[in-house]
Amino acid sequence: TDTKYTFPKGFLWGGATAANQIEGAWNEGGKGVSVADVQKFRNPQGLKELNNIKKNTDITDEMIEEALKSDDETLYPKRHGIHYYEKYKEDIALFAEMGFKAYRFSVAWSRVVPNGDDDINEEGLDFYSNVVDECLKYGIEPIITLSHYELPLHLATAYNGWNDRRLIGFFEKYVQAVVDRLGDRVKYWLTFNEVDSILRHPFMTGGLIESRFEKDEFQEVLYRAMHNQLVASAKVTKYIHQKYPQSKVGCMTTKLTYYPYTCKPEDVLAVQQKMRQVYAFADVQVFGEYPAYLRVKFQKEGMDVGMTEEDKQVLKENTVDFVSFSYYQSSCMAANEAGLELTSGNTTIGVKNPYLPSSEWGWQIDPIGLRISLSDLYDRYRKPLMVVENGLGAKDILTDDKKVHDDYRIAYFKGHIQAMAQAINDDGVELMGYTTWGPIDLLSNSTLQMSKRYGFIYVDLDDFGQGTYNRYKKDSFDWYKKVIQTNGESA
C-alpha cells in the first residue's frame, strides 16, 4: 500500500562532509595545522595495501617533522581538499538545487583556535558564520560536527592529545566560541565524529602518537583519552543546552555491523564482544554511565582513566538528545580468523561475507544491514536516530560531454533508502534524517584518494592534485533531487 514507504514530514534529507576533507586553505585565514594536514599520501597500489587503514592513519614524531618541513600539497592532500574554502557558495548552491533540507559539516578546531590552546581566531568563526548563512539562505538546516578527525596538531605534539585532561578545557573553550557565534542559527550539533574510532585510530581520532608510549601502557592511554572525550562531550552538551534550550545535541557513532561467520557460539560471542566495545561510547553518551563490562575491565586490568566523582555526575546529567551514526557496509567475524579471507570496511577489517557484493575497495554492500542497524540502535537507545553518513566510494568516469553515468551509486542509495523506509514503517524506528556521505567528491579519509568518489557532484581533480577543480553533476544528482522532492517515494 501507499503507506508502506513513506518518510516522516520534515525528514532531513541532505549530505555530509568534514572540513579536513574538503576545505583546503590549510594555512590561510589564520588556521593552524591539524592532524589531518600531516597525513601523507602513499599512492597505494592494489586492494591489500589500500586496506591497510591502520598504516594509513598511524604516525610518528619523525613523520610529523618531515611533514612540517614540506610544503608539497600533493603529498599532503588534505591541505588542498577540493578548494571548498573558496568555492563553498557554489557548492551549497548545488546542494540547494538538489533540494537539500540539511547539510552536515564540521568546524575545524584549528581554524577557530589555531593551536588548540591559544586565542580564538575570529576569521575562522567568520568563515563558518558565512557558511551557516549560505545554508539558511536556501532553507537548508545546518548540522554541525564539532570534531571530525581534525584536532589541532599542537595538542597532539605538546600534550599527547586526548590523553591529557587539559584538553577537556581547551575543547570547551573552542566549542563555547563556536556556539556563542553560531548558536542563534544552528539547531543540531554533534560532538565527536565516530567517537568509538579512537580505539582503532588513535592519532586521527585522539591525537595519540603511539610510539611515544610504552606498549603495555597504551591500552590505558586509549581508554583515558576515551574518557576525557566523553567528559568533554558531556560538558559541551550542557553548555549548548543551557545557552540554547531548543537545540538538539547528538552523539555520532560508527555503526559497525558484524555477522557471526558461522553459527558456532564462539563466533556469536566474538561478535557480541566486538559490538559492545563499539557501543560502549554511545552507551555512555545516551545512558550517562559506563557499561558494566568496561567497569569490570578497568578494575580487573588495573586501568586508571582518571575518573572523578564530578566526571560521573557530568556524564549522568548531560546525555544526548538523539543518536547519529555512519553506516556503509557490514562484515563477518569469527573467533578464529585463520585461513579466512579478510576484507576492509569503514575504519575496520573483517571477514568476507560470501553472500554480499563488495565495492572496489572491498566494502561489502548490504542495505539489509542498515535496517538491522537501525533496529539495533533504536531498540537499544530508544532515542531518535539520524543516519549522518552512508554512501558508495567508487571510481567514476567523466565522459567527453562532462557527464558521469553512476547507476551503481544510484542502486546503492536506492537499496539503503528502501531499507530506511522499512525500518520506519515496519519496525517503528524514529528516524530524523539522512545525510549521505560526500554529496560532492572529496578526499577519502582512509586512503587520501580523490579517485574514491562518493558525490552526486563530480570534482575534476585526481589523486596527484591535478585538475581544474571544476564541478559537474552526475546522473545521481538528478536522481537524488527527485528522491528529496518526493520525500523518498521515488527511491
Least separation in angstroms between residue 4's CB and ligand BG6 is 30
Burial of residue 165, with CB atoms counted within 10 A of its CB: 0-12 exposed, 13-18 middle, 19 or more buried:
middle
Nearer to ligand BG6, 148 or 224 (CB): 148
Burial of residue 212, with CB atoms counted within 10 A of its CB: 0-12 exposed, 13-18 middle, 19 or more buried:
middle
Question: DSSP character for 362?
Answer: S
Least separation in angstroms between residue 389's CB and ligand BG6 is 6
Least separation in angstroms between residue 445's CB and ligand BG6 is 3
Question: DSSP character for 198?
Answer: G
- Rounded Cα distance, 162 and 159, in Å: 8
- Rounded Cα distance, 376 and 374, in Å: 5
Is 90 one of the catalytic residues? no
Asked if 34 and 151 touch (Cβ cutoff 8 Å), the reply is yes
Least separation in angstroms between residue 254's CB and ligand BG6 is 6
Which of these is catalytic: 194, 214, 266, 430? Answer: 194
Site for ligand BG6 in 385-404 (CB under 6 A): 389, 393
- Rounded Cα distance, 50 and 393, in Å: 13
Cell numbers 525528514 correspond to what residue?
Answer: 11
Nearer to ligand BG6, 175 or 442 (CB): 442
Residue nearest to ligand BG6 (CB): 446
Least separation in angstroms between residue 400's CB and ligand BG6 is 28
Cell numbers 546503492 correspond to what residue?
Answer: 412
> Which one of 88-96, 241-249, 402-410, 443-451 is the stretch in contact with ligand BG6 (CB under 6 A)?
443-451
Determine if 435 is a binding residue for ligand BG6 (CB under 6 A): no
Cell numbers 568555492 correspond to what residue?
Answer: 87
Rule CB under 6 A: choose which of 194, 267, 366, 396 binds ligand BG6: 194
How distant, in Å, are the alpha carbons of 22, 50, 336, 460, 485 from that of 404? 20, 24, 43, 11, 22
Neighbour count for residue 166 (Cβ, 10 Å): 12
Cell of 451: 579517485
Determine if 18 is a binding residue for ligand BG6 (CB under 6 A): yes
Which of these is catalytic: 28, 389, 430, 489? Answer: 389
Rule CB under 6 A: choose which of 329, 353, 422, 446 binds ligand BG6: 446
Nearer to ligand BG6, 247 or 451 (CB): 451
Cell numbers 564482544 correspond to what residue?
Answer: 273
Helix ranges restricted to H, 404-443? 407-425
Rule CB under 6 A: choose which of 160, 326, 331, 422 binds ligand BG6: 326
Please give the size of the binding site for ligand BG6, defined by CB under 6 A: 14
- Rounded Cα distance, 269 and 275, in Å: 10
Least separation in angstroms between residue 446's CB and ligand BG6 is 3
Is 194 one of the catalytic residues? yes
Starting at the edge strand found earlier in the chain, the sheet holding 342-345 runs 257-260, 330-333, 348-351, 342-345
Determine if 206 is a binding residue for ligand BG6 (CB under 6 A): no
In the chain, the amino acid numbered 173 is K
Rule CB under 6 A: choose which of 193, 285, 353, 359 binds ligand BG6: 193
- Which among 161, 171, 85 has a CA at the least distance from the CA of 124? 85
Determine if 432 is a binding residue for ligand BG6 (CB under 6 A): no
> Which one of 64-72, 407-415, 438-446, 474-482 is the stretch in contact with ligand BG6 (CB under 6 A)?
438-446
Asked if 219 and 173 touch (Cβ cutoff 8 Å), the reply is no
Determine if 441 is a binding residue for ligand BG6 (CB under 6 A): no
How distant, in Å, are the alpha carbons of 17, 21, 168, 367 from that of 50? 22, 18, 34, 24
> Which one of 262-270, 273-281, 304-312, 440-448 is the stretch in contact with ligand BG6 (CB under 6 A)?
440-448
Asked if 35 and 156 touch (Cβ cutoff 8 Å), the reply is yes
Least separation in angstroms between residue 447's CB and ligand BG6 is 6
The angle, 0 to 180 degrees and rounded to 10, between the axes of the packed helices 84-98 and 475-485 is 50
Rule CB under 6 A: choose which of 24, 444, 480, 483 binds ligand BG6: 444
Least separation in angstroms between residue 327's CB and ligand BG6 is 10
- Which among 403, 230, 384, 404 has a CA at the least distance from the CA of 321? 384
Nearer to ligand BG6, 22 or 226 (CB): 22
Least separation in angstroms between residue 316's CB and ligand BG6 is 28
Rule CB under 6 A: choose which of 13, 109, 437, 456 binds ligand BG6: 437
Cell of 69: 618541513
Residues with catalytic function: 194, 389
Residues in contact with ligand BG6 by CB under 6 A are: 18, 21, 193-194, 326, 346-347, 389, 393, 437, 444-446, 452
